[in-house]
Amino acid sequence: MPPEPRLPDTLSPASIAEGWVPYLVQSRDDNLLLFYNSDDREEPITFLALSPNAAVTGSTPALAPSGDLGTRPDAPAPAGETVSVHGWTLRIDESLRGAAAWQLISQANRFNTAPAEGREYLAVRLTVQATHTDERYNAFISSTIDCLDGKTIYEEADVVAPSPRLSEVRLFPGATTSGWMVLDVPEGATCTLRYRALFDFYDEQTRYLAIP
């Protein structure tokens, strides 16, 4: 709950209001801005700096690797290699499974439950960079990430992932983020990570990455 006075959710025409709005941010963030985004995509974003000289840096996206890397499930991108999709690059940094994964996951949230008998958690940490040119921002994970073992598909586990989490994020051009995701797989399953873009009905942007 925000402190009083709380900023109201709605305003009548020509009225003025003031109040507090709380945000949960990562402790390393010291270049913070507020921005107002109209529902009208044609309207520009309005930015307000919360500290002196805070600004979007406008970094240049790294050169994308070959678009052919990781396009086939029988030839996934090798561990540590970066694959490119429309507007993004992604790379697997590390993975944990079995007891090591459960230790990390149990520490992330005390309400996380252990995997069922005969199954184990597979925790994967990925790095994502925005290579799009949308000056507003763009959302990652408007997509699905799962893993394949032969013809069997395993999806994300119903647990709170360790921090930092690879959840839905919005990145400006050149920005990079990394985080964990957790999959629920049979013990000893040999999995390949699969990225599928939203509305990519012909799988042109589907990519496969070998899990180390």
Instruction: Please check whether residue 74 lies inside any domain of the structure.
Output: no
Predicted structure pTM score? 0.77
Question: Would you say how long the chain is, in residues?
Answer: 212
Instruction: Please check whether residue 20 lies inside any domain of the structure.
Output: no
How many angstroms separate the CA atoms of 175 and 61, rounded? 7
Domain that holds residue 92: 82-210
Residue 159 has pLDDT above 90, yes or no: yes
Residue 87: what pLDDT?
Answer: 81
Domain count, the chain: 1
Instruction: Please check whether residue 63 lies inside any domain of the structure.
Output: no
Instruction: Please check whether residue 24 lies inside any domain of the structure.
Output: no
Instruction: Please check whether residue 73 lies inside any domain of the structure.
Output: no
Residue 185: what pLDDT?
Answer: 96
Q: What are the tens digits of pLDDT across the range 7-23?
A: 998 889 999 999 999 98
What's the rounded mean pLDDT across residues 54-77? 75
- Coil/strand/helix, residue 80: coil
Residue 26: what pLDDT?
Answer: 73
Residue 117: what pLDDT?
Answer: 96
Instruction: Please check whether residue 64 lies inside any domain of the structure.
Output: no
Give the CATH number, domain containing residue 107.
Answer: 2.60.40.4170
Q: Rank 56-65, 85-94, 100-109, 200-209 by mean pLDDT and report only the highest.
A: 100-109
Contacting residues for 77 by C-beta, under 8 A, at least 6 apart:
69, 70, 83, 207, 208, 209, 210
Cβ neighbourhood burial of 21 (10 Å; 0-12, 13-18, 19+): exposed
DSSP 40-71: STTSPPEEEESSTT-----PPPPPP--TTTT-
Is residue 21 within 8 A of residue 9, CB to CB? The reply is: no
Q: CB count, 10 Å around CB of 104? A: 19
Instruction: Please check whether residue 38 lies inside any domain of the structure.
Output: no
Instruction: Please check whether residue 150 lies inside any domain of the structure.
Output: yes
Is residue 126 within 8 A of residue 178, CB to CB? The reply is: yes
Q: Where are the beta strands (DSSP E) in the chain?
A: 33-36, 46-49, 82-85, 88-97, 119-130, 138-139, 143-149, 152-154, 170-171, 176-186, 192-197, 207-210
Of the pLDDT bands very low, low, confident and very high (cuts 50, 70, 90), residue 65 is: low
- Coil/strand/helix, residue 184: strand
Residue 60: what pLDDT?
Answer: 57
